[in-house]
Amino acid sequence: MEWQLKLENISSKNLLAKPYKSTLSIFLYTMVRYDSNFREPPWVMGSPKEVMDWTEASHPRKKEKNEHKHDKEFLNNLHIKFDFDVKKTELEPSSFIRKITGNKLVEEDFDLLPATELILRGLAKAKFRNTARIVVDDKTLYEHPEKKSDLRKTIDDVSDFSDGIKKGKTVKVTAILADVEKCTAIINIKKIHSKKEHSVDIQIKGKIRKETYHTFLNYLDEKLGVKEKEVF
């Protein structure tokens, strides 16, 4: 009866003023006192392990709170699409399928080299460091994913690729940002594309800091007038 009396003393302060006659009555009262959604504090009738589980459930650990805060600071898998404000010429369909579907091609009047350099400078401003690959018309001109900080040098040496880029119709650049989270930017710049597509298509795969993303977007806005509404 000693264990029963101790339990009655604890329970009577929080549950009822009157004493209980048996351990069973305390147990039954505890079970029906709250609805099924309430998680009973385990010190009423639980083991030490149950006390620890209840404490962690009621008060999330600092690590979990930090992880939640961490997620709020990052954006995931972004897609930016826009056209240059230049003259556009509609081209005759080059294939039978395009003629049937009406998926016409458009050629935009801009220079591929300065457009590529501008996008690279925007990535450098957003702290991207590695130029993993540069492809012009499906031909690889540069490929060094192992280098950690060659993007600015690539910009300085862009003249090395000038002939290839100037003669091309499409450029694809892959750049890597190794931050707390690693993300990859894949930039496609096309002088000729279907009417349903855009001349610039940028996919940022992985997590990127909101601050870093807005730095990049602000640069595009400053140089090209790209607004937030054009980001998908």
**Residue 117 scores a pLDDT above 50:** yes
**Residue 194 scores a pLDDT above 50:** yes
What is the rounded (10 degree) CA torsion for 177, 170, 203, 94? -160
Strand partners, 130: 176
Contact 12, 18 (CB under 8 A): yes
Please report which confidence band the pLDDT of residue 56 belongs to, taking 50, 70 and 90 as the band edges: low
**Residue 205 scores a pLDDT above 50:** yes
Overall number of domains in the chain: 2
Residues 95 and 150 in one domain: yes
Q: Residue 119 class from Cβ within 10 Å (0-12 exposed, 13-18 middle, 19+ buried)?
A: buried
Residues 36 and 150 in one domain: no
Contact 112, 148 (CB under 8 A): no
Residues 32 and 79 in one domain: no
Mean pLDDT of the chain: 76
Q: What is the mean pLDDT of residues 84-91?
A: 90
Q: Which residue has the tokens 């329970």?
A: 11
Has residue 67 been placed in a domain?
Answer: no
Considering the chain, what percentage of its residues have pLDDT values greater than 70? 62
Query: What pLDDT score was predicted for residue 227?
Result: 66
Which residues have a Cβ under 8 Å from the Cβ of 98 and sit 6 or more positions away? 104, 105
Query: What pLDDT score was predicted for residue 102?
Result: 62
Domain span including residue 201: 75-230
Has residue 199 been placed in a domain?
Answer: yes
Task: Pick 126 or 47 by higher pLDDT.
Answer: 126
Residues 116 and 34 in one domain: no
C-alpha to C-alpha distance for 141 and 172, rounded to whole angstroms: 10
Considering the chain, what percentage of its residues have pLDDT values greater than 90? 41
Model confidence over 128-151: pLDDT tens digits?
A: 999 999 999 999 999 988 887 889
Residues 222 and 153 in one domain: yes
Has residue 216 been placed in a domain?
Answer: yes
